[in-house]
Amino acid sequence: MSIFLNTHYGKNKLTPRQILSDPVLFLAFGFGSGLAKKAPGTFGTLAAIPVYLLFELTDIRVYSLLTVIVTVVGVWLCGWAAEKLGEHDFGGIVWDEIAGYLITMWLIPFSWQTAVAGFILFRFFDILKPWPIKWLDQHVQGGFGIMIDDVLAGVFAGAVLLLVIEWGWIN
């Protein structure tokens, strides 16, 4: 039984080996997490946690700069990956989930409770896609289209998490 979705990805039928050996696709597929058989977006968000933990070791200015870089580079990275796959917003492209989780956690004080709550809230908004996230997901194309719904899901999740912390529901 394969751990991959299938033997070929996208309309251009790329193999897992091609994806893992191409630096752009390797990053776009969240260091390979986007090849997960089920729920690649969730696995992509899990891949974001070590990135978040590394960024969290820095001060807020460095965290902010790195998060902006991940997001801006993600527009190009996801767009190029979609072209290589021959398919817009292929499910295995999960760099947008990494950026979205980093945005969720941007102004949040670190604790394992906040890291887990941020993961749950980000996945909730990314899957549910309340307005205007769903509209953007359906109407904006290219790398920006791949990224913008997850960026906004991250903003929504981060705002809710800040409220949860403010209300004292978690530390």
The Cα–Cα gap between 27 and 34 comes to 10
Expressed as residue numbers, the domain containing 39 is 16-166
The Cα–Cα gap between 170 and 163 comes to 10
Helices marked H in the chain: 16-21, 23-28, 40-56, 60-85, 95-104, 112-128, 133-139, 142-166
What is the number of structural domains in the chain? 1
In a domain, 3, yes or no: no
Confidence (pLDDT) at 89: 80
In a domain, 138, yes or no: yes
What confidence tier does 5 reach under pLDDT thresholds 50, 70, 90? low
In a domain, 139, yes or no: yes
Of 67-81, 104-118, 128-142, 149-163, minimum mean pLDDT range: 128-142
In a domain, 134, yes or no: yes
In a domain, 85, yes or no: yes
In a domain, 6, yes or no: no
First to last CA, the chain: 42
In a domain, 124, yes or no: yes
Confidence (pLDDT) at 125: 97
In a domain, 2, yes or no: no
Minimal CA–CA distance to 122: which of 86, 90, 88, 149? 149
